[in-house]
Amino acid sequence: MPDGWDVPFLSGCGSGLTGMSAPAIVVVAAVIEDADRFLLTRRQPGVHLEGMWEFPGGKIDPGETHETALRRELLEELGVEADVGACVHRTEHSYPDRNVELHFYRCDLKGAPRPTLGQEMRWVRRDELSSLAFPPADTELIDMLVSSDGR
């Protein structure tokens, strides 16, 4: 991460948020920044929220920690290992067909990412984030990143 990355650290980013009546799918995602650009992938056709841009990551498998799940997802989706840092945001969202609990972590990649599942991938400047279509659950994080000047 750049030295001046000023998205605040959130302590207590573990599971256990309240407010949803049905059990939530717990998801972890990587906020990867380089030179004031963020690495995004596009959800593929035929999946929930297809065509929307997202921070790479995915569901936690039974018995996995957030860190283990995020490392696994980045290796599967982008063919790269990563250091998982601080949790920068957590949220929960109810879609018509499911509830999700999302945890976003700063991550540093240990190599060059490449989309291994046929998904679109791109680096997006901070000032371009709000012009892309993201899942509704990502709105607060996008607002935080856009309002942060990166210094």
Residue 42 forms beta bridges with which residues? 53
pLDDT of 52-68, one tens digit each?
999 999 999 999 999 99
Question: Which range (17-26, 32-41, 42-51) has the least confidence?
Answer: 17-26
- Pick from 11, 91, 26, 83: nearest CA to 60: 26
Q: Average pLDDT, stretch 87-94?
A: 93
For the chain, the average pLDDT equals 86
Q: By the 8 A CB rule, do 82 and 70 touch?
A: yes
Query: In this structure, are strands 37-42 and 33-34 parallel, antiparallel, or unpaired?
Result: antiparallel
Question: Which range (14-18, 27-31, 106-110, 119-123) has the least confidence?
Answer: 14-18
Q: What is the pLDDT of residue 14?
A: 57
Greater confidence, 81 or 24?
81
Q: Where are the alpha helices (DSSP H) in the chain?
A: 66-78, 139-147
Backbone angles phi, psi at 100, to 5 degrees: -130, 145
pTM over 0.85? The answer is: no
Q: Average pLDDT, stretch 33-40?
A: 96
CATH class of 25-146: alpha beta
Query: In this structure, are strands 98-109 and 25-31 parallel, antiparallel, or unpaired?
Result: parallel
pLDDT of 100-129, one tens digit each?
899 999 999 999 999 998 899 999 999 999
